[in-house]
Amino acid sequence: MSIDPKQDRSGRWLAIVASVVVLATVVVAVLVMDSPSVQRDGRLDSRRIDELNRIVQAIDTYVQANATVPPDLATLAAQPGQQLSIADPVTGNAYDYTVDGGRNYTLCAEFVTDTAQVQARGGPWNADEWNHDVGPQCFSRTATAPKPGSQSSEETGSPEVSGAVASAPSASEPPAARLALEGEGLRIFVSPSGSARPIAFGTGKAETLATLRKVIGAAPVDEGDNNECGATRVRWPGGLATWFVDDAFVGWSVGPDGSGVSTVDGLAIGSTRTALESGGSVVQIDSTTLGTEFTAGGVAGLLDSDDDNASVIHLWAGQTCIAR
């Protein structure tokens, strides 16, 4: 049987075009995806911001008890119940702290990323008050004024959550803190200051549960083990489930009955596909064994269909027992 030369040439050209398309796809993927070292730098700077946030919250607590800001970070870290990191996680150099008079002070740290560039690539969200360039960056803050006649928590016997979250509010008081979903765990926004602190994956189970009890203002609904994936699920009022392995927080999920909890950019159960795709994160939508599955900024979930007007029915991040 003879081979038509024209067909042979056509086949070769198709093979060449296909190879070029595959190569271009690989090149684009490499260009879009950050290198491991860039990802590591981003995680380190996020950790620095988290540690500065904790210091700010601890200073507020110190002022409530002492009516003045601490003279230095060593004194602050030595306060009973405090578990502060006051030094850079890489260099080991202490964060710079300067008292500017009264309740005013300045905190400084050195960063290796630019938040504008990180967020443009769909990286972790940070409050504007912590935006920074590469290199040394200082932040001016004013501690919360002590309330007249206020006493320290040691005197009143009221519990604290790492010095960051106020006691659960009564029904007549506004919420003291708000919980947000993140691709790297959960984040608490404390009122009225708006300061934030993370509950990152890897946090101990006891600390995670104690913090969530404070923020949610209620005990878990139930707790049970999933033997198939070797994890423990703790469910909370409102539909949030937290997952633990070896007494460490490893994941969270929110089912169709979830309400009142969202990511910082508003992604929640019931969000539309249009809102999802316009939320500022890089979104990927695929048909999988679960259905119409998506990822956005480290958060994954399901849509109720592949239509343009589809709605979000499930959200999760980290390690969860999502059966495939």
Buried b (16+ CB within 10 A) or exposed e, 25-59: eeeeeeeeeeeeebeebbbebbbbbbbbbbbbbbb
Q: Are 143 and 64 in contact (CB under 8 A)?
A: no
Altogether, the residues listed in the chain come to a count of 324
Burial class (CB in 10 A: 0-12, 13-18, 19+), 295: middle
| DSSP assignment string, 210-240 | HHHHHHHSS--SEEEEETTTTEEEEE-TTSE
Distance CA 36, CA 110 (A): 20
Q: Please write the tens of the pLDDT for every residue from 64-101.
A: 888 899 999 998 888 887 778 888 888 888 899 999 88
- Of 276, 278, 286, 279, nearest in space to 310 by CA: 276
pTM above 0.85, yes or no: no
Q: Are 255 and 239 in contact (CB under 8 A)?
A: yes
By DSSP bridging, strand 248-254 and strand 240-245 are antiparallel
Residues whose CB falls within 8 Å of the CB of residue 39, separated by 6 or more in sequence, listed in order? none
For 43, list phi and psi in degrees, rounded to 5. Answer: -65, -40
Q: Please write the tens of the pLDDT for every residue from 160-215.
A: 333 333 333 343 344 457 888 999 999 887 755 556 788 999 989 998 998 898 88
The H or E element spanning position 177 is strand 177-182
Q: Please write the tens of the pLDDT for every residue from 103-154.
A: 899 999 999 988 777 655 444 444 456 788 889 999 898 888 775 554 443 3
